Structure 1
Amino acid sequence: MSLDSDDEILQDFLVEAGEILERLNEELVELEQSPDDIELLNAVFRGFHTIKGGASFLSLDGLVSVCHHAEDVFNVLRNGERSVDTNLMDIVLQVLDIVNSMFAEVQGGAMPTPADPALLSALEKLATPAGGESTEAVDAPAEDAVDAEFDTMLDAARPDAAGEAVVSGGNDITDDEFDALLDQLHGSGNAPAQTGNTENKDAVAAAAKPAAAGAPGEITEAEFEALLDQLHGSGQTPTTDSSGNSGAAKPKPQAPAPKEKPAATKPAAAPAKPAAAPTNKAEATVRVDTSRLDDIMNMVGELVLTRNRLATLKESLGNEDVTKAVSNLDVVTANLQNAVMKTRMQPIKKVFGRFPRVVRDLARSLSKEINLELQGEETDLDKNLVEALADPLVHLVRNAVDHGIETPDEREAAGKSRTGTVVLSAEQEGDHILLSIDDDGKGMDPAVLRSKAVDKGLMDAESAARLDDREAYNLIFAAGFSTKEEISDVSGRGVGMDVVKTRISQLNGSVEIDSELGKGSKLMIRVPLTLAIMPTLMVKLGGQPFALPLGSVSEIFDLDDSRTNVVDGQLVVMVRERALPLFHLREWLVNGHSEPDLEMVRHVVVVHVGSQKVGFVVEQLVGQEE
């Protein structure tokens, strides 16, 4: 069945729900570590509640159902009627996976597949307070708490509702009733009669006070959030006794007031005052399709090339006015380039946010105890890079958990703590981003790696013996290479690490790995901040200009032929007592090349190629250009 809905409304829902699902993934794993965090419980509750509301508007019944059941579970949790445990989190995380799957179906234009009834049944059991006291009396408030509170507010909003029972059937409200409620929220003057629960009405008025200046007939997001805070902040259902008698408002066991914010009227009004600030911030934010940013970036790239051309022409013209104009254009173009690049930047946190869940699930399946530390989450890089790095990083983290970290018993026998640590960090280095995955596991044995390479026919024994430790570690990126003795669902097939390296190379990045047997391993990825505009080192060969990516250049020195030699048919130059492969670019890039003048000073540009360094011989260094 296809999805038939207003495209603009659907797109708004997809954007909002997508952001909420990303947050839920992080919040649920964090909640397992901090089960008593009321703010987290409320945040998760509201997340499912918001998705349910949007899905209901679009008639996505399957999504509404599963979110409603999850909402009930978290309503019980935040009321203190049940505690968070591992089994509960397993089911809730399974629910999140189902919701993500439904969300993907909606993105594809299809109606979501209903959830497994067994899963919904499990959620219904979790939505029952632990202890099993009088389920008939408890279940109804757990499922209908919001409706009951809303009805109470309606009673307070009706001028003739004092002490009367609701005559209209069902849970529906009339337009007049809803208008009366809005009048109460906006303070438009249509105040209800002074009979009834004045404390409850004061609380509602306090929550709505800061937004009273809004447009009549409309309720802002800030007002709605303030109202929800008033209804749910203390976990208590407002009393329905219109007389205001405190004896009739019997305290409920599921409302542990000390754990959450008190429901007193005065404290509730205080946090509501700054509620208008987020509204102003939202109005100043505009969502822009990434394709538009790509078009703008492409035009800026053309402008940069034109600027470079003008900079070359100004030297030949020798006109002072032209020189000044080109200099001004240079400054403006650089500022425009930086501004556009910043609009494309996103924090790496969008990728890092998925790893707590990945590590948590893997650790449970492998019976390991692992602590994941995230560092540098606010480091910004190009949006395209954020998306492109997601899959390679997931594979590398899974590899560290499976291959690197030992089981608790193995760690204890080795004199380590039973809990292993994986550190995922990001930092900016000039115009590059350095990502590292560091674990305190068993590390790698270079001798074993050399032996495996010979056994798999990747090289002969003599070549393997000449590999230093760093080169031996990089063997893990060879296709089909694996040191895992047993094949599992997680790893062991030797498939993936070569794909990871290829993918990072396509991003103009490099991968390096270091390890110490018994101590752990560290894998480092360097990628440029952006793929849109690249700083380069301009060189000349046979009078023709060529560009080398500046981020890959590590050093430059003059060529000394006396330090060159041929090893296994490869020309090398000795640099700090290490043999560096040497290539004369003139022979590869210049058609009909002639032998260069031996008296000419030639330069060696040392460039990172993957995890290795090579030297390119050039005749002239021109300078840096974008």
Structure 2
Amino acid sequence: MGFEVDEDILQDFLVEASEILEQLSEQLVTLERQPDDKDLLNAIFRGFHTVKGGAGFLSLTALVDTCHKAENVFDILRTGQRHVTSELMDVILRALDTVNNMFAEIQNRQEPTPADPLLLEELKRYCRPASEDEAAVAPVVTAAADATIADLGEADYRQMLDQLAPDTSADSVSEPASGASADNSAAGDGDDISDDEFEALLDQLHGAGKHSGVPASAASAASSPSASQSTDDGGDEIDDLEFEALLDQLHGAGKGPSIAAEEAVSTPAQAAPAQQAPAAVTASAPAAPSADKAAAKAPAHHNAPPDTSVRVDTRILDNIMNMVGELVLVRNRLLSLDANHDDEDISKTVANLDAVTGDLQGAVMKTRMQPIKKVFGRFPRVVRDMARNMGKEINLEMVGEDTDLDKNLVEALADPLVHLVRNSCDHGIEMPAEREAAGKARAGVIRLTASQEGDHILLGIEDDGAGMDPEKLKGIAMKRGILDADGAARMSDGEAYNLIFAPGFSTKQEITDVSGRGVGMDVVKTGINSVNGSIVIDSEKGKGTRLQIKVPLTLAILPTLMVLVGKQTFALPLTNVNEIFHLDLTRTSSVDGQLTIVVRNHAIPLFYLQDWLLKGERQPRKTQGHVVIVVVGNQQVGFVVDGLIGQEEVVIKPLDQLLHGTPGMAGATITSDGGIALILDLAGLIKAYARRYA
């Protein structure tokens, strides 16, 4: 294995191959829907070819073998000798899975496990054309691409010449190898060479007698001064000028490099026929200075763009982001101090620092940004495989794949989104016959969307499937002990849809490898809440279901609402805050022992944060207070606080080890006045205290 090579070379391969393999998964699924897309076929072919080339350089034989066979399949598809079918795509996707597994082993610096021999045999079978007639012709073409000249027979080489120079007439090929014809070839267009000339070329390239089937005339031709000079100097190697002259012999003088071609054409045809070809090869030697000049000038016309990218360890970016966060805290402190002074020069300086800090913060955040496509890219394969396994027809649409968000968020959202897409395939989209009976198209549609709104990202997963029945969901919840009859009677449809996120809840009667255990959607909600996000679900029976996820643009800087509870400051994530108002708390009512307020004809449970956060120093409840309405999932909750400080961007600092696991606490931060505020985890807070202090 080639792990002993320079680490930079290995890293280059890992980065390039990772991007290609991510693209291949989506491209292969697209190809199955668009089998006649030649550009897509070529792109997939190049993808496998590039991975194979990098793996070959590192001596990763197992990976090279699999990629080479997959590449050959697409070479056959490109030439139209075989057509894309679902069965063929099953094999290719299995090959891609194998390549991905090998790639993961290479990333861990392990020797890649060879592919299953049965898989390689299936790939080899698809490397052959579909019909027997084509199978008789194809080996000549593929062999010509891989074999050396010494391995080719005369008939094979003649056929390769026909492909390289298709304008050659049959009459000129069949002319006898006479001196006149040889003279004609050397002095004319150079499209054809005789058998003797070809054998002399082999001597020129390999040395006399080193190739199979050398006639005596060719051996004598190889003993010419020019031939012996070439053999002595280079052995089996030929230099660039000799190769250019050989191209002139194959393609015709004037179709290769112009200087070498003119030299070859102007050479007098005075030698014996068997010596004509070597003379044509060596005749280009005097053109070396001109050829060197041409080669020196060539790169000027094809200058590659300079590499503007630098590979940086993400830990370095995290450290930079942390330092920028500290700078933001200092900025906030200076802005607070400046508000209490009337010095114009200080105000201008602080304002300038504020602007520069904001620009720096935005620039550093961009270094951590990645397109959501890194998550979306895996879904075409997920949907395709699930649809095929369940006998469904599902089309996937993706919008906003270029939307950028924090790298950590991309990684955190990957598993929840996979759960949601699989859930739409399994529970949402109906079987084709059911859809037809309901007047729908046989193929269902799942639509993924991503967009940025302010400092948040909105993600949508929508399907046109069967939708959800709220009454059925309530019945399942009561059966599983999640809900009682009175609670079900008062529950709205929106709240009923939210039941699917309850632990242990599942609408499946049978457990399968896809669903039925009641853990998937609970994991989704937990994962989204862990990144300070929220999820809202809406559905219509018979029409479909839509889920909308809202997450912050980054996890490093958190917009918050600072509030006072007693004499202490707390920070509420702004993404959860819906509205704020001042309320006469004597206008509340109690429903089943729960304090409630009515806002726009909607009853909202009300809690005093001091009861939860200030257990040892509770103050008497006031009759006037500020109420902050927050949204957690589909649920709205009102919190009574003693004072409002305002909106502030904060940097989340982890809690000390002694405070880990404290219910409802996400972290801490330093406020603009230099104090310390605890950042509340609202979902955890409600889960821990809502029923206890109702």
TM-score class, shorter:
0.7 to 0.9
The reply on whether 1:516 has 2:555 as its aligned counterpart is no
Q: Deviations for 1:440-479, whole angstroms, at most 9, x for unmatched residues?
A: 1111111111111111111221222221111111111111
Alignment of 1:446-457 (within 5 A): 446-457=470-481
For 1:83, the equivalent position in structure 2 comes to: 83
Instruction: Tell me by how many angstroms 1:201 deviates.
Output: 7.8
Q: Deviations for 1:13-62, whole angstroms, at most 9, x for unmatched residues?
A: 11111111001111111111111111111111111111111111111111
For 2:688, the equivalent position in structure 1 comes to: none
Query: What is the aligned-residue RMSD (CA, Å)?
Result: 3.2
Q: Deviations for 1:375-427, whole angstroms, at most 9, x for unmatched residues?
A: 11111111111111111111110000010110000111111111111111111
For 1:287, the equivalent position in structure 2 comes to: 311
Q: Residues of 2 paired with 1:42 and 1:345: CA distance?
A: 30
Instruction: Tell me by how many angstroms 1:144 deviates.
Output: 5.2
Q: Secondary structure at the match of 1:602?
A: strand
For 2:239, the equivalent position in structure 1 comes to: 180
Q: Residues of 1 paired with 2:26 and 2:143: CA distance?
A: 26
Alignment of 1:150-299 (within 5 A): 164-165=201-202, 166-167=205-206, 180-181=239-240, 192=245, 195-198=248-251, 202=255, 276=302, 279-280=304-305, 283-299=307-323
Q: Which of 595, 598, 611 is the equivalent residue of 2:620?
A: 595
2:2 touches 2:60 (CA, 8 Å); kept in 1? no
Percent identity, please.
57
For 1:614, the equivalent position in structure 2 comes to: 637
- Give 2:642's aligned amino acid: E
1:536 touches 1:550 (CA, 8 Å); kept in 2? yes
2:3 touches 2:10 (CA, 8 Å); kept in 1? no
Closer, same or farther in 2 for the Cα pair 1:140/1:444, shift >3 Å? same
Closer, same or farther in 2 for the Cα pair 1:42/1:473, shift >3 Å? same
For 1:358, the equivalent position in structure 2 comes to: 382
Q: Deviations for 1:495-554, whole angstroms, at most 9, x for unmatched residues?
A: 211011101100101111111111111111111111010111122233433221112111
- Give 2:399's aligned amino acid: Q
Q: Deviations for 1:126-161, whole angstroms, at most 9, x for unmatched residues?
A: 11111122746422533652666999999x9xxx99
Instruction: Tell me by how many angstroms 1:597 deviates.
Output: 5.9
1:3 touches 1:111 (CA, 8 Å); kept in 2? no
1:434 touches 1:524 (CA, 8 Å); kept in 2? yes
- Give 1:197's aligned amino acid: L
Q: Deviations for 1:202-245, whole angstroms, at most 9, x for unmatched residues?
A: 4789xxxxxxxxxxxxxxxxxxxxxxxxxxxxxxxxxxxx99xx
Q: Residues of 2 paired with 1:595 and 1:201: CA distance?
A: 100
- Give 1:18's aligned amino acid: S
- Give 2:239's aligned amino acid: A
Q: Which of 394, 397, 402 is the equivalent residue of 1:378?
A: 402
2:468 touches 2:540 (CA, 8 Å); kept in 1? yes
Report the TM-score, using the length of structure 1 for normalisation.
0.81
Q: Deviations for 1:325-383, whole angstroms, at most 9, x for unmatched residues?
A: 11111111011111111121111111111111110110000000111111111111111
- Give 2:505's aligned amino acid: F
1:32 touches 1:84 (CA, 8 Å); kept in 2? yes
- Give the number of equivalent residue pairs: 548
Instruction: Tell me by how many angstroms 1:314 deviates.
Output: 2.0
Q: Which of 419, 427, 439 is the equivalent residue of 1:403?
A: 427
Q: Residues of 2 paired with 1:61 and 1:170: CA distance?
A: 29
Q: Which of 486, 491, 495 is the equivalent residue of 1:467?
A: 491
Q: Deviations for 1:226-271, whole angstroms, at most 9, x for unmatched residues?
A: xxxxxxxxxxxxxxxx99xxxxxxxxxxxxxxxxxxxxxxxxxxxx
- Give 1:492's aligned amino acid: G
Closer, same or farther in 2 for the Cα pair 1:192/1:568, shift >3 Å? same
Alignment of 1:98-117 (within 5 A): 98-117=98-117
For 1:142, the equivalent position in structure 2 comes to: 142
Closer, same or farther in 2 for the Cα pair 1:194/1:116, shift >3 Å? closer
Instruction: Tell me by how many angstroms 1:191 deviates.
Output: 5.7
Q: Secondary structure at the match of 2:206?
A: coil
Q: Residues of 1 paired with 2:443 and 2:341: CA distance?
A: 69
1:127 touches 1:142 (CA, 8 Å); kept in 2? no
Q: Residues of 2 paired with 1:378 and 1:471: CA distance?
A: 33
Q: Residues of 1 paired with 2:253 and 2:490: CA distance?
A: 81
Q: Residues of 2 paired with 1:108 and 1:561: CA distance?
A: 61
Closer, same or farther in 2 for the Cα pair 1:149/1:528, shift >3 Å? farther
Q: Deviations for 1:277-324, whole angstroms, at most 9, x for unmatched residues?
A: 8x31x5122222222211111110000001111112223344332222
Instruction: Tell me by how many angstroms 1:611 deviates.
Output: 2.7
The reply on whether 1:24 has 2:17 as its aligned counterpart is no
Q: Secondary structure at the match of 1:192?
A: helix
1:72 touches 1:143 (CA, 8 Å); kept in 2? no
1:373 touches 1:422 (CA, 8 Å); kept in 2? yes
For 1:219, the equivalent position in structure 2 comes to: none
For 2:173, the equivalent position in structure 1 comes to: none
2:247 touches 2:256 (CA, 8 Å); kept in 1? no
Q: Residues of 1 paired with 2:79 and 2:424: CA distance?
A: 39
Structure 2: where are the runs of 5+ without partners?
Answer: 153-159, 165-189, 191-196, 213-230, 259-276, 279-297, 650-694
Closer, same or farther in 2 for the Cα pair 1:148/1:71, shift >3 Å? farther
Moved more, 140-149 or 543-552: 140-149
